[in-house]
A and B are shown apart, each in its own frame.
Chain A
Amino acid sequence: MDTPFSIAGHSFRSRLMVGTGKYPSNALMVQAIEASGAEVVTVAVRRVDLDRTREEGVLHHLDPKRFFLLANTAGCYTADEAIRYSRLAREAGFNDFIKLEVIGDQETLLPDVDGLLQATRVLVKEGFSVLAYTNDDLITALRLEAAGAAAVMPLASPIGSGLGMINPFNIRTIKRRLSVPIIVDAGVGTASDACLVMEQGVDGILMNTALAAADDPVRMATAMRHAVDAGRLAYLAGRMPRREVAVPSSPLSGMLGETPPGR
């Protein structure tokens, strides 16, 4: 039996969390999310389109009673901006959770860890449950935990890159050294990436582009659901040790032409 997956006192039925961005259509997004089995889905805060020429809000397509909406601060480049977006998100009235992103660089979308720590401290004081998107860096992760983050979300590789997990050692170290849930966020490209991430023993994984940009998002979402379960199970099962020499699986004795012992 696995332990329940919970963050800040909320238990979630799936360790797979998914985004809602960049799908070819809203219908496909909904189908993919259903197929993924995810309960936590991320959303972004943006201006209402007053001319109604662009998309309507995501809540026209997703039932907030069936999914746990996790708002993000994607697109924010300063602590102040991320704090402002967090407050607006909370005001929408669903929960106190925020997936906190403070981005430091436009090309790599890597986090600004200084701004991230600053914003975490302020938001924790205001009663938010902060899930902090960060580098796969132990020291920052420890500081985020000390600042009161409800979960730490190290990247597998840059957002939308699909490069998979660049540094499993760092991910394992962060998991081993922190007490709060560790959710790997960003960089997963395909099912084997997700499986490998979960095999490191982290508590969960969040992905968006791997589903939205797949040729068949619904099929990929199904694959990801299985991959996350498989990776989690393999982690709980405990893998065999690695050896650099072969060890036979079949008996060495009883071969034809062998002289039986003691004759």
Chain B
Amino acid sequence: MTQLTITLNGERRTVPAPATLADLLDHLSLDARAVVVEHNRSIVRRPGLATTPLAEDDVIELVHFVGGG
């Protein structure tokens, strides 16, 4: 088991590797239905999460809906 360093929501983080985006959400205890994933500026749809591997220095944004006007 090695580790990867990624930028996750603007913060540098190390995560266990190898890992897919689905693994990352699991690791963070996030429900894939409740977040939208952007991987290196491209949106990854839910079916693609388990087949998209994470690589060193990837930039991930995890967003959801919050209160707003």
Contact = CB atoms under 8 A, between A and B. Distances in A.
A74 B34 contact: no
Contacts of A72: 68-69
B54 to A, nearest CB: 15
B69 A45 contact: no
B35 to A, nearest CB: 6
Interface stretch (A19-27, A110-118, A245-253): A19-27
A46 B69 contact: no
B68 A20 contact: yes
A209 B69 contact: yes
A50 B28 contact: yes
Contacts of A42: 68-69
Contacts, number: 93
B30 interface: yes
Give chain A's interface residue range (CB within 8 Å of chain B): 35 or more
A149 interface: no
Contact of A45 (B11, B41, B45, B63): B63
Interface residues of B, number: 22
Contacts of B65: 43-46, 57-59, 69, 71, 89, 92
B9 A57 contact: no
B63 A88 contact: yes
A71 B66 CA distance: 9
Most chain B beta carbons < 10 A, residue from A19, A21, A29, A92 = A92
A74 B68 contact: yes
Interface in A226-261: none
